[in-house]
Structure 1
Amino acid sequence: MAELQEFIDDRPDAREVRKALAVKLVYQGYKYEEIQTILDVSLGSITSWKQAYEEDGISGLRLNHKGKKSYLTAQQREEVLSWLQTKECWELGELEYKLAFEYDVTYESKRSYYDLFDAAGISWKKTTSLNPKADEDAVAAKKKEIETLLARHRQEIEEGKLRVLLLDECHLMWGDLSGYVWGKTDQEIAVRVVNIRDKQTYYGAVDYLEGSLLLKAYNAGNSENTIDYLRYLLDQSPQSKITSFFGDGASYHRSHLVQNFLGEVNQDLSQEEWKIHCVRFAPNCPSQNPIEDIWLQAKTWVRRFCALIPSFSHLKWMFEWFIRHTTFDFATLQMYGAFSEIKY
């Protein structure tokens, strides 16, 4: 240990110091992952430096030491890039292991591994949720059903006699404010959040033809509030019948209270004359509902101002302002067919 410290003290080259320091930290009991974070080096480099020190002593840490090579031949690089196409998801350690044990190559900088990922068309990204219970056949069948329904009523929709609304709830939490900003590298950027669990529930319905969203705040999602929101939609559409497509999972969307309300509103009317017709999407597949993209865009927008929002009430105000003053034009808003506002 003293030998390593003496080498660190005497060496002016930062690259040699980093090697020696990594080995020293290993012997001091630090985990490889901790050293990786502290020194910003790859796990494979730590392993190779430790091995070089154990085999050749201090000389194994010098820059002119001939240890493992630090490059791939053109053929080897193509082999690695082909290998990286065999899976959808990778860990950095898998690539380090592949290069170290099959090609005897260890890079000192993680940037070299990232460059290989980039050349293979692989980028660092956030995972998205996928419900394994989703039935692809049921989703496809429901999409066909909706397309057929809307096509059959195209003239009514484009004349404004039938309003198509895609409905869902959104739960805005104070913790949603946390996001990414530009700041000084050596400083943590803190956003004042008293309680990340503070929550506001919103019911929303995006107009399939106009791209506007009808928003109303509630204390929770339940049958009573669902009925109140449906009444609100009827009040906002006095000259139109409504076909509303619900989100895919909430049990209160199909509760007896909601069914009884629909029965009262549509009482003594034929199905073609119903004031409001509610259709549920196939279960366990939120991507069927374009309103999900709107909730995401609204939350992304308020995060841009995270350093300027002092309270949860201000966060709610900004979220609501964005929703009410934006006309949405996502490609997914035409996923069930393209419609235009036309006077026949």
Structure 2
Amino acid sequence: MEELKAFIGTERDGRQVKKALAVKLIYQDYGYEAITAILDVSLGALSRWKQAYERDGLAGFRPQHKGRRSYLTSLEREAVLQWLQAKAIWELSELEYHLAETYDVVYESKQSYYDLLEAAGLSWKKTSKVNPKADAKAVAEKKPEIQRLLARYRDEIEAGQLRVLFLDECHLMSGDLQGYVWGRTGERVEVPIVNERDRQTYYGALDLLSKRLFVQAHEKGDTTGTIAYLKFLQTQWPEQRFLILWDGASYHRSKELQAFLADVNAGLDPDAWKIHCVRFAPNDPSQNPIEDAWLQAKTWLRRMSGLRPCFSALKALFEQFFRLEVFDFPKMHRYGSFS
């Protein structure tokens, strides 16, 4: 299982990742019907991939290139260039998938794919937005404040009495399959949301000690969802107190949320509060390590774009990613190292 997990986290070929993920889900006792719905594959494919893995290991996921060409004819090349005019933005994996499935062509070098994209008048562009301007002074002052707070509770944290959680919301949309993309030269890249219903809000809590992220889907990010998620966390660890580190979103400061916290902590000294919430400095998401975890998940999803998953499958893949990963990157130690 660990071998499959590591492979899924590092392999760049979306086709191989899809096969490995399917096999991993089988080993995790997901039903075959559920897996076919999530990954949009046939029952026969699942059986072949499982048999190939059990026979050949990870090598069983590799495309069988025997008999495949490493070039396009002039007519095929023109057809591909015409095909690339069908839309304004592309992921490299989409072109790789199209050539392999339509023409049985697999290039050894990525440069051959780049040349085709450039010949079609496409260039490499960034679609993400710039973060709001932060108050550098406030951010600089907040970091040692949080470090001192965690150091104060070190014994309780490491004894499992106080659970420190970096909490945030993430909005998954069909457009998240695009990050850096190939777009028409000279034109601004905009990613349209064709269907507003293709949007899912997730609440997540990244655990300081275990480095695991616990997600739960909600209709939207608001006071109701926030209170429901905090109650969910309490059901997961009913004997523990929580120190929540999060941003200053309006629904993190609402009267209803404050009333909920007052009720939960009623009659307790601050050091014994069941839920203690601390806000980061405003307008700088980089203070929260969970932002890096969200980014890792969306980057992984973009590698799957050539498989053209439907939105329900996209959500299933997003949720599965957090079941696979432990997020022990440097920013997890920004406010101190704990074990």
Q: Same fold (TM over 0.5)?
A: yes
What corresponds to 1:137 in structure 2? 137
What's the CA shift string for 1:82-115, capped at 9, x where partnerless? xxxxxxxxxxxxxxxxxxxxxxxxxxxxxxxxxx
Is 1:300 the counterpart of 2:304? The answer is no
Larger mean CA deviation between 272-281 and 231-240 belongs to: 231-240
Give the CA deviation at 1:149: 0.3
Is 1:331 the counterpart of 2:330? The answer is yes
Is 1:310 the counterpart of 2:309? The answer is yes
Give the CA deviation at 1:251: 0.5
Give the CA deviation at 1:195: 3.1
What's the CA shift string for 1:235-265, capped at 9, x where partnerless? 11222110001124x1111000000000000
Kept in 2, the 8 Å contact 1:156–1:162? The answer is yes
Give the CA deviation at 1:208: 0.8
Is 1:163 the counterpart of 2:159? The answer is no
Is 1:225 the counterpart of 2:214? The answer is no
SS in 1 for 2:142: helix
Kept in 2, the 8 Å contact 1:200–1:219? The answer is yes
Aligned mates of 1:165, 1:269 — CA distance in 2: 21
Aligned mates of 1:254, 1:281 — CA distance in 2: 12
What corresponds to 1:274 in structure 2? 273
Give the CA deviation at 1:304: 0.8
Give the CA deviation at 1:138: 1.1
Aligned mates of 2:199, 2:227 — CA distance in 1: 21
- Quick one: structure 1 residues 230 and 127, their matched pair in 2 at CA, closer, same or farther if it must change by over 3 Å? closer
Gaps of 5+ in 1: 1-123, 183-192
Which amino acid counterpart does residue 238 of structure 1 have in structure 2?
P
Kept in 2, the 8 Å contact 1:179–1:306? The answer is no
Q: Which has the higher contact order (CA 8 A, sep 6+)?
A: 2
- Quick one: structure 1 residues 201 and 126, their matched pair in 2 at CA, closer, same or farther if it must change by over 3 Å? closer
What's the CA shift string for 1:99-157, capped at 9, x where partnerless? xxxxxxxxxxxxxxxxxxxxxxxxx978762422x211111111111000000111111
Aligned mates of 1:125, 1:314 — CA distance in 2: 25
Percent of aligned positions that are identical: 57
Give the CA deviation at 1:324: 2.1
Give the CA deviation at 1:233: 1.1
* Normalised TM-score (structure 2): 0.57
Is 1:212 the counterpart of 2:212? The answer is yes
SS in 2 for 1:139: helix
SS in 1 for 2:202: strand
Give the CA deviation at 1:173: 0.4
Gaps of 5+ in 2: 1-124, 183-192
- Quick one: structure 1 residues 177 and 127, their matched pair in 2 at CA, closer, same or farther if it must change by over 3 Å? closer
When the two chains are superposed, the root-mean-square deviation of aligned CA atoms in Å is: 2.5
